[in-house]
Amino acid sequence: MRILAIGPLWRGSNAGGLFRALSRQGCLLEVVDEFYFISLQTRTKTTKVFERLLRPLQTDEFNAAIKKKIAIFKPDIFFVYKGAFVLTETLEFARQHGCKLALFYPDVSMTAHGTNIPKAIPLYDLIFTTKTFGITDMKAKYGVKNAQFIPHGFDPEIHRKLPISDADKNSFDCDVSFIGTWSPKKEQWLATLKRACPDIALKIWGEQWFKSTTTEIKPCIQHTAVLGDLYAIAIQCSKINLGILSEQVSGSSSGDLITSRTFHIPGSSGFLLHERNEESVLYFKENEEAGFFGDANEMAKQVSYFLANEPLRLQIQEAGYKRALREYSLDERAKTAISYFKGL
């Protein structure tokens, strides 16, 4: 099976991890990485202005490169991860060249990343979503009948036990960490935790935390993301890793129920304290393979409880790690995806 995969390959990327897992399962793989064509990491206002001006030209060059790769590689499956910059004409070109079209969409809302994705959705032969509610959302909004649920998984090349140096400990050791992008809910819940447990060492890693206005957590914000091996190290250096989920946004019928961190944390042998819902408890047994909480107040109580009960915490941590290794790697997700590709 020849697969042309479209998406980023940077170390720690969920897309890149899935592509490599498909390769390990025996697929012939070529990748067109949007980061080679489209500037997405600018920070200053001046460069952002130029970025917006260049974006249409960059998008055209990106799609031209995809078409060229299709003509040379002759893939069976044209496999797009998210696809914010993949144009409908490129999908039509791929179909004309004998490709089956598949989309892997990892986010809550289909409308949060520009106009190309909603336009392209009806063209795909198969759509994977990491959100169970994504199936009904796409059916209701776009008439999609070909969506399948595949949850995130951990990347065994990234999310793994690593040796921890003294320098790592100095940078990352803490009682509790949250690793993820800022949102109002996450800020409020972490502020509740810090007010209830003012003496805990809390570290907050991720993007957009400059938006936080809560005084209690400002000293805890690290003002950077942690990616790749440093992400796994940060997980291992935290006694408790919080799984606070994103709230509902425009274009979705629900907030997150699980996320990539649901599997990254146990896969990196970290202790997972996760927001409880009807879905999250299906993956790890409560108080046996992970801890859970229903709201910010219970989260604070659970943090205090597990910090005070280290033997139990370490026992749960090890059991969650073993469960992740057995069932939740991206290799298992790749096997599922391949089984659907074979049915196209």
DSSP string of 222-267, one letter each residue: -SS---HHHHHHHHHTEEEEEEPPPPP-TT-SS--SS-THHHHHHH
**CA–CA distance, 122 with 146 (Å, rounded to integer):** 10
149 & 285 share domain: no
233 & 102 share domain: no
212 & 312 share domain: yes
| Percent above pLDDT 90 for the chain | 88
**CA–CA distance, 296 with 300 (Å, rounded to integer):** 6
- Judge whether 159 lies within some domain: no
- pLDDT tens across 32-56, in order? 999 999 887 777 777 777 788 888 9
Q: Average of pLDDT values for 122-132?
A: 95
128: domain range?
Answer: 2-153+330-341
82 & 130 share domain: yes
- Judge whether 161 lies within some domain: no
- The domain total for the chain is 2
- pLDDT tens across 41-95, in order? 777 777 777 788 888 999 999 999 999 999 999 999 999 999 999 999 999 999 9
251 & 302 share domain: yes
137 & 188 share domain: no
Q: What is the pLDDT of residue 127?
A: 97
114 & 39 share domain: yes
CA-CA distances (angstroms) from residue 235 to 240, 271, 317? 8, 8, 12
175 & 311 share domain: yes
Q: What is the pLDDT of residue 40?
A: 77
315 & 336 share domain: no
- Judge whether 236 lies within some domain: yes
- pLDDT tens across 284-330, in order? 999 999 999 999 999 999 999 999 999 999 999 999 999 999 999 99
- Judge whether 85 lies within some domain: yes
**CA–CA distance, 62 with 192 (Å, rounded to integer):** 45
Nearest CA among 83, 140, 144 for reference residue 113:
83
106 & 216 share domain: no
88 & 196 share domain: no
180 & 200 share domain: yes
Find tokens 């989260």 and name the residue.
299
- pLDDT tens across 179-229, in order? 999 999 999 999 999 999 999 999 999 999 999 999 999 999 999 999 999
| Sequence-ordered list of residues with C-beta below 8 angstroms from that of 46, at least 6 positions apart, any chain | none
Query: What is the average pLDDT score of the chain?
Result: 95
Q: Which two tokens stand for residue 173?
A: 């050791």
